[in-house]
Structure 1
């Protein structure tokens, strides 16, 4: 019994009832227009004094409602009402104006159903409650049995009079049942009629995938840039502190490297954050490349006391810009890992060569025992693999032998080229 009461009078049923009443209110102007047509055709002077003529006016007005539903804001407004009043999930509804013929046709069908069911339920909601109230109190108030109320003659019988309250209560329950049933039907039909088309779903999925790709790449940019800078600055500051009194020249070089590293990192951070700010243009600081900053990267790494032996058998200026940019980040991450895990003054081997139309990067450094691990770590290695994969290449890292860690990446000079991480793709809707 409680389940039935909740189904007929629960919060969701009441909200859907309100949705139907709103549909009835929207239908009233169309009914008035319909009465202007029905009156002269039938010769009636009082259209609203006859139930058949009222229904005829209602039937004439619904096609007019279907035509006016082509107004662009109809679908988003109806979808918003269905979402809040009918309890339909937002992702099952389209919140954009209908553009194609199919979308407009489905919107017109929905609007007609909403106003049709709403007009019927609204009319019943106006007529049935007063009539039911009269039936319920009829046995108690004999004055209500006046002929002027137009009550059926059967109510003059004692048995009928005794059953009048039951009939009144049942009529209210029937009204609630009709409202709940119509509301459930509209909630069920809303997704097919107001929901996005397959093309809209595809466009939304593409937009989400593009945004996710940008976010992932920006996360890699922040990890590689800021992570490397913090590792380098920490090592440089530590080395400067140890020789502060004995080697002032080294301290000056370390401080200069810290200043250069932090200045460049702030510029890169500003560029990345500029992409994240909706509506802002990307920052003015260019993303670093091998051609622009390989020598500076090596200099700043060595300023902390790390010995880096670099062999560059490739012309950085001749590399494609995106290959040069991704290669720079891979080299930066390899040196950053060496800074973290190699011993003091350990020698790091860096080789950059071009072999068979592909740029090959190799970074080798000693490690003291197994490579250390930390909670949440490993993002840099995954980021390098992602960068290489977007260019159609590969990147692997792992121990070779007992105390050596080796990073090797191959980046094709031609082939698939990933999107520039500093370019935010424009969202495209259906054509």
Structure 2
């Protein structure tokens, strides 16, 4: 029995009933405006417009176009969407969030508002009229005074068999009211995604926004990997080298500690920038992303301070490179040195080469192939990050063992400066 009554009186049905009653309440101001027009036109006496069903329907018909017009206000769709989400049980991802934009979206919102107010007015009117009438029918056999014909009850209720069936008729009328409310609520919940949901243009804009956010987060993940990964590798080797010569070479220990301090300070600044973007969605005032022109020498110096010999060949106008290219190229060199620190072995010379040739910036990082280098393969996150950066800039990246060396080769196109008008 409970399972049969749940669709009519369950929590979801009750909430949708409330939603319909709210629609009826929203319709009342427009009906009152309609009575101001219908009453004088029909020549009705005072109060007749409120007692005549025909005039009430006419007043609603006059007020409905005004309701459709007010539905074009920007807040209508967000407010209706919130009501549908909480009272009708429609998932939030199937409803639009902002104001209706465009003729089609505004038309759907207007149609929804008209349906909500119309069905709500009908159900609200039934909810006001039927329960008292049903209560009279149920109590009629037990209250003789209510059988007086002067009360205006139907003639059939004056008969004995009519009075006997009155309680059943009262219960049926209440069930019919609940059924109408549940049916209207279910229909509105079914139509809500089509009328209040996002348009194809809004879905495309939302997808583009999600893609842009995902791309930003992927870029930040690469920044964290390259910056923090290199810093940890460098600091580990610097600390290890300093520990080994702690009692014999105080000057080297001081240089290693200074390099550790500089490396961690720069990395904390970059980390603050990245975490600020992840936390607030905006870039705070923090250390800017390093570039070849600004910090290539510092990067090489800090790597050498870890006890890793590094030779560098730079034949490119670093200060003239576009900022984005210079920043991404710096990260590529940094990741190449990080791989060398991790896999080449202590004391092994690493050769770095940054050359501008044929309109392309060529980056190379070479080191002797240690026994553990075979574990690098081509699937590390660092190498994937280098390839991803290269593709985004329209370039190419190759890495792998060649003639006893681990070689990283990256070739990035350098945009030509636009001609002055």
State the Cα deviation string for residues 181-235 of structure 1 (Å, max 9, x = none). Answer: 1111111222222222222222222222112211111121122112211111111
How far has the Cα of 1:141 moved from its partner?
Answer: 2.8
In the comparison of the two structures, how many residue pairs are matched?
A: 412
Residue in structure 1 matched with residue 98 of structure 2 by the alignment: 96
Residue in structure 2 matched with residue 53 of structure 1 by the alignment: 55
Instruction: Give yes or no for the alignment of 1:199 onto 2:201.
Output: yes
How far has the Cα of 1:372 moved from its partner?
Answer: 4.6
How far has the Cα of 1:136 moved from its partner?
Answer: 1.8
Alignment check: 8 A CA contact 2:273 2:283 kept: no
How far has the Cα of 1:14 moved from its partner?
Answer: 1.0
In 2, distance between residues paired with 1:399 and 1:164? Answer: 95
Alignment check: 8 A CA contact 1:274 1:283 kept: no
Alignment check: 8 A CA contact 1:270 1:283 kept: no
Alignment check: 8 A CA contact 2:344 2:373 kept: no
Instruction: Give yes or no for the alignment of 1:369 onto 2:357.
Output: no
Structure-to-structure mapping, 1:401-412, within 5 angstroms: 404-412=405-413
Can you give the 5+ residue segments of structure 1 that lack an aligned partner in the other structure?
Answer: 416-431
Can you give the 5+ residue segments of structure 2 that lack an aligned partner in the other structure?
Answer: 417-421
Q: CA RMSD in A?
A: 2.2
Residue in structure 2 matched with residue 25 of structure 1 by the alignment: 25
In 1, distance between residues paired with 2:201 and 2:257? Answer: 57
Instruction: Give yes or no for the alignment of 1:118 onto 2:120.
Output: yes
Alignment check: 8 A CA contact 1:309 1:348 kept: yes
Residue in structure 2 matched with residue 329 of structure 1 by the alignment: 331
Residue in structure 2 matched with residue 137 of structure 1 by the alignment: 139
Q: For residues 202 and 275 of structure 1, do their structure 2 counterparts lie closer, same or farther at Cα, with a shift above 3 Å needed? A: same
In 2, distance between residues paired with 1:271 and 1:184? Answer: 49
In 2, distance between residues paired with 1:237 and 1:31? Answer: 82
In 2, distance between residues paired with 1:315 and 1:396? Answer: 24
State the Cα deviation string for residues 54-88 of structure 1 (Å, max 9, x = none). Answer: 22222222112112222221111111111111111
Alignment check: 8 A CA contact 2:149 2:158 kept: no
Residue in structure 2 matched with residue 429 of structure 1 by the alignment: none
> Partner of 1:353: helix, strand, or coil?
strand
> Partner of 1:127: helix, strand, or coil?
helix
> Partner of 2:314: helix, strand, or coil?
strand
Instruction: Give yes or no for the alignment of 1:291 onto 2:293.
Output: yes
In 1, distance between residues paired with 2:66 and 2:39? Answer: 17
How far has the Cα of 1:133 moved from its partner?
Answer: 1.6
Alignment check: 8 A CA contact 2:94 2:197 kept: yes
Q: For residues 161 and 398 of structure 1, do their structure 2 counterparts lie closer, same or farther at Cα, with a shift above 3 Å needed? A: farther
In 2, distance between residues paired with 1:143 and 1:400? Answer: 108
In 1, distance between residues paired with 2:50 and 2:92? Answer: 39
> Partner of 1:97: helix, strand, or coil?
coil
> Partner of 2:257: helix, strand, or coil?
helix
In 1, distance between residues paired with 2:21 and 2:218? Answer: 47
Structure-to-structure mapping, 1:221-232, within 5 angstroms: 221-232=223-234
Which range moves more in the overlay, 364-373 or 119-128? 364-373
In 1, distance between residues paired with 2:20 and 2:221? Answer: 48
Give the alignment's TM-score, normalised by structure 2.
0.91
In 1, distance between residues paired with 2:162 and 2:384? Answer: 82
> Partner of 1:138: helix, strand, or coil?
helix
Q: For residues 50 and 81 of structure 1, do their structure 2 counterparts lie closer, same or farther at Cα, with a shift above 3 Å needed? A: same
Please, which of 236, 241, 244 is the counterpart of residue 242 of structure 1?
244
State the Cα deviation string for residues 119-175 of structure 1 (Å, max 9, x = none). Answer: 000000011111112212222333322224322111222322222222111111111
Alignment check: 8 A CA contact 2:343 2:372 kept: no
In 1, distance between residues paired with 2:244 and 2:73? Answer: 75
Residue in structure 1 matched with residue 419 of structure 2 by the alignment: none
How far has the Cα of 1:321 moved from its partner?
Answer: 2.2
Q: For residues 140 and 371 of structure 1, do their structure 2 counterparts lie closer, same or farther at Cα, with a shift above 3 Å needed? A: farther
Residue in structure 2 matched with residue 162 of structure 1 by the alignment: 164
State the Cα deviation string for residues 313-361 of structure 1 (Å, max 9, x = none). Answer: 4332343322121111011011111111222212223222334322222
Residue in structure 2 matched with residue 379 of structure 1 by the alignment: 381
Q: For residues 301 and 17 of structure 1, do their structure 2 counterparts lie closer, same or farther at Cα, with a shift above 3 Å needed? A: same
In 1, distance between residues paired with 2:7 and 2:99? Answer: 33
In 2, distance between residues paired with 1:244 and 1:24? Answer: 84
> Partner of 1:301: helix, strand, or coil?
helix
Residue in structure 2 matched with residue 424 of structure 1 by the alignment: none
In 2, distance between residues paired with 1:263 and 1:120? Answer: 70
Alignment check: 8 A CA contact 1:343 1:368 kept: no
Instruction: Give yes or no for the alignment of 1:338 onto 2:340.
Output: yes
Residue in structure 2 matched with residue 72 of structure 1 by the alignment: 74
> Partner of 2:312: helix, strand, or coil?
strand
Alignment check: 8 A CA contact 1:135 1:168 kept: yes
